[in-house]
Amino acid sequence: MKILLHICCGPCSLYPLQALREEGMELEGFFYNPNIHPYREYLRRWEALHQVAEAEGLAVRHRWEYELEKFLARVAQFPSERCRHCYELRLEKAAREAAEGGFAAFTTTLLVSPWQKHDLIRQVAEEVAGRVGVPFLYRDFRPGYRQGQQRARELGIYRQPYCGCIYSEKERYARSRPDVARAR
Which 110-149 positions form the footprint of ligand SF4 (CB under 6 A)? Answer: none
What residues does 136 pair with on adjacent strands?
A: 106
The CA distance from 52 to 59, in Å, is 10
DSSP state of 76: T
Q: Which of residues 107, 109, 149, 168 is near ligand SF4 by CB under 6 A?
A: 168
Please identify, among the stretches 45-53, 123-131, 136-144, 164-172, the one whose residues bind ligand SF4 according to the rule CB under 6 A: 164-172
Binding residues for ligand SF4, total number by CB under 6 A: 9
Q: Which of residues 10, 20, 32, 35 is near ligand SF4 by CB under 6 A?
A: 35
Sketch the per residue contact string, 44 through 83, with ligand SF4: x for CB under 6 A, - otherwise: --------------------------------------xx
167 interacts with ligand SF4 by CB under 6 A: yes
86 interacts with ligand SF4 by CB under 6 A: yes
Task: Kindly write down the DSSP assignment for every residue of 109-167, as one continuous string.
Answer: GGGG-TTS-HHHHHHHHHHHHHHHT--B-----GGGHHHHHHHHHHHT----SS-SSHH
The CA distance from 28 to 17, in Å, is 10
The CA distance from 165 to 33, in Å, is 10
Peptide bond into 38 cis (omega under 30): yes
- Nearest distance from residue 34's CB to ligand SF4, in Å? 10
Residues forming contacts to ligand SF4 in the complex (CB under 6 A) are: 35, 82-83, 86, 163-165, 167-168
